[in-house]
Amino acid sequence: MKKEKTASVLGGIFAAQLAVAVPVLALPNAQAPVRVARAKAEASQVSAAPAAEFAIAARAMIDQYCTGCHNDRVRAASLVLTSDKIDIAHVGANPDIWEKVVKKVGSGAMPKAGSPRPAPAVLKNFVGGLSMALDRVAAANPNPGRPVPHRLNRTEYTNAIRDFLALDIDGREMLPADDSGYGFDNIGSVLSLSPSLMQRYMLSAHQVAATEQPEDELTRLGVGAYQIQD
């Protein structure tokens, strides 16, 4: 029974391929539309099949159309897709590579122009099945990445000095404008901290520290002189 299912999945791929590859005869053929419809229906099995069967069908398609260039000898684009190097049944082991495959095949860039290629329905279902496999891996193993160091931007620094020390300073005079990304200037990955900018922050801190505070304000802030006893 398992062999029959596998043969059906693989047959769906090659049936769709033949429906496109075989030249259309000039003589009218009443059976042609029926064969094309059957091929499209069978091709849908590539993505509708269970994960294990999809992996078998997808591997057959990769071996036929991709590994001629993406092998250990040619290494087109420094990518090897042979079964001994990468396993499509376990996309979680190489998610970055399979994401590239999804983008290239999904955009129509691969197989490259002039090379044999499967029927559009087969390629569409291959991309859909592979995307679903990657989504399952991502859902099971979420990886949001690691947080980046996040410094205060100019406005946040000005507000922090006001809130902690009750001092109104002009941050625009002390610090340069911050970099922005996606319309915001408080994104951690965008707010770099170069040596020169660090020096400006240090100079600003010295200016703030040298600013005289009223006696009552210092008392409110809990600032005082303490003597250390031996």
171 within 8 A of 203, measured Cβ to Cβ:
no
Q: Is residue 222 part of a domain?
A: no
Q: Does residue 42 form part of some domain?
A: yes
Please tell me the total count of domains within the chain: 2
Instruction: Tell whether 107 and 206 lie within a shared domain.
Output: no
DSSP state of 22: S
pLDDT in tens, 86-97: 888 888 888 889
pLDDT tens digits along 27-44: 333 343 444 444 344 444
224 lies in some domain: no
Instruction: Specify the pLDDT at position 101.
Output: 92
Asked whether the beta carbons of 69 and 101 are under 8 A apart, the reply is no
Helices (H) and strands (E) in the chain, counts: 10, 0
Q: Which range marks the domain in which residue 210 is found?
A: 154-216
Query: Does residue 105 share a domain with residue 40?
Result: yes
- Same-domain check for residues 131 and 190: no
Angle 158-220-157 (CA atoms, 0-180°, nearest 5)? 10
Say if residue 218 is exposed, middle or buried (CB neighbours under 10 Å; 0-12, 13-18, 19+).
middle
pLDDT per residue, tens digit, the chain (230 aa), is: 444 443 344 344 333 332 333 222 233 333 434 444 443 444 444 444 556 788 888 898 898 889 888 988 888 888 889 888 888 888 888 888 999 999 999 898 888 888 888 888 888 989 999 999 999 988 888 877 777 778 899 999 999 999 988 888 888 988 999 988 888 888 888 888 889 999 999 999 888 888 766 666 556 656 555 566 65
Record the pTM.
0.45
